[in-house]
Amino acid sequence: MYRIRTFNKISPVGLNRLDSALYAVSDSETDEDAILVRSAKLLDYDFPKNLLAISRAGAGVNNIPLDRCSEAGIVVFNTPGANANAVKELILAGMLISSRKVIDAIEWAKTLKGQGAEVTKLVEKGKAQFAGPEIKGKKLGVIGDYTGALGIMTITPSEGAIIGADVAMKAANVEVVFVDRFNGSLIINGTVADVEAAVKDVLNVLENTLHFAPTVITKS
């Protein structure tokens, strides 16, 4: 039986993957074999001698004393991208709220308090200023120091995105803008010719080496 101590609230979605017959998991475990942590600082924590691993439920490890862990042979790893979907959804929600002027409308609506019977007239008179554009037919731009073309791929199984990124960078002079091994998203940047060559090479490796189902390259 391995003892795992949690230092923060960890999602049960992940904890439920640990077989209760093999792992005892709680925030009160002592002489733990492993630690699951989010933001709690372990820099001054007195590690038990039998500690084998520390997992950071997040992208950074700045709250873990890596030097002490290395000396003690404690494996440290993190989970970058685990909350990628939530972050992307929040970004899209923020973009839509901003585009539709939702916050401005809320603040304006607060000024109508106490207007009584005049509210209806004031709303009809003022609501036009909060009209926002619809997203149908619009194009999404990537703000940053990117020129040329963007190659966007979604690979299933999602771990293939890591392989795709490696193949793309070796195939042509492209930069990996974004890669997510949890949903298979991969975005590369470069000249039109380099991006096209990289995408073709990625598809070739996925289809002929890994035997993934092929797809058609589209341009816009």
Q: What is the model's pLDDT at position 138?
A: 76
The answer to the question of residue 72 being in a domain is yes
Work out how many domains the chain is built from and give that number. Answer: 2
Q: DSSP string spanning 184-210?
A: TEEEEEE-HHHHHHHHHHHHHIIIIIS
Which residues are registered as beta bridge partners of 153? 186
Average pLDDT, the chain: 89
Q: Is 161 domain-assigned?
A: yes
Domain limit, last residue, from 44, 78, 112: 78
Specify if 214 maps to a domain: no
pLDDT on residue 144 = 67
- Which structural domain, as residue segments, surrounds residue 178? 149-209
Q: Answer whether residue 96 is part of any domain.
A: no
In a domain, 112, yes or no: no
Contact 41, 71 (CB under 8 A): no
* Residue 204 domain flag: yes
What CATH number should be reported for the domain holding residue 174?
Answer: 3.30.70.1710
Domain end position, chosen among 47, 78, 109: 78
- Domain end, chosen from 78, 97, 120, is at 78
Q: CATH code at 43?
A: 3.40.50.720
How far apart (Å, rounded) are the C-alpha atoms in residues 149 and 171? 16
190 within a domain of the structure (yes/no):
yes
Alpha carbon distance, N-terminus to C-terminus of the chain: 55
* Strand partners of residue 188: 151, 176
**Does pLDDT of 142 surpass 70?**
no
Domain-embedded: residue 11:
yes
Q: pLDDT for 21-72, tens place per residue?
A: 999 999 999 999 999 999 999 999 999 999 999 999 887 789 999 999 999 9
Give the per-residue pLDDT at 214.
82
> What per-residue confidence (pLDDT) applies to 53?
96
